[in-house]
């Protein structure tokens, strides 16, 4: 499995043609306590950069963007009852949605973990 990152602080774990998407530790720290998450519906078609999900915290509401194009397989239903999973486990249990990648070449425009860490260190 490979993990990629966007400049908007989303991550995507890719396993074959399936990607699991969430936000990074850095992003959840900036947002503060998460109080609500809206994930995309199964079957929704997303283009790279589309608004895919919404996260609301005590500080602000933010859009979560699709790091690549694809079709949503499932949203993380656990977040409806426990949005704080994004705070406690942003890069594991607090994932937002899974999608089937429609163009794996889009991954080439994303950062690997070391490039993302270097990006965040400059913020």
State the 10-residue block means of pLDDT for the chain, 123 residues long: 96 98 97 97 98 95 97 97 97 98 97 98 96
**By the 8 A CB rule, do 98 and 21 touch?**
yes
pTM score, whole prediction: 0.96
CA neighbours closer than 13 Å in the CB half-sphere of residue 42: 4
Containing structural domain, residue 65:
2-118
What is the SS3 assignment for 75? strand
Q: Which two tokens stand for residue 90?
A: 């942003």
21: left (phi over 0), alpha (psi -120 to 50) or beta: beta
- Which CATH number covers residue 26? 2.40.50.100
According to the model, what pLDDT value does residue 25 have? Answer: 97
| Structure confidence at residue 1 (pLDDT) | 81
Distance CA 4, CA 12 (A): 5
- Is residue 10 in some structural domain? yes
- Total domains, the chain: 1
């Amino acid at each position: 499995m490979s993990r990629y990152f966007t400049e908007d602080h989303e991550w995507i774990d890719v396993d074959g043609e399936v990607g699991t998407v969430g936000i990074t530790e850095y992003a959840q720290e900036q947002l503060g306590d998460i109080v609500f998450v809206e994930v995309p519906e199964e079957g929704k078609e997303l283009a790279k950069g589309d608004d895919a999900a919404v996260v609301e915290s005590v500080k602000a509401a933010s859009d979560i963007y699709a790091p690549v194009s694809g079709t949503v397989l499932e949203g993380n239903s656990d977040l409806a009852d426990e949005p704080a999973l994004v705070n406690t486990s942003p890069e594991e249990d607090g994932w937002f949605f899974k999608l089937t990648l429609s163009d794996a070449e889009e991954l080439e425009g994303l950062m690997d973990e070391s490039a993302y860490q270097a990006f965040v260190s400059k913020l």
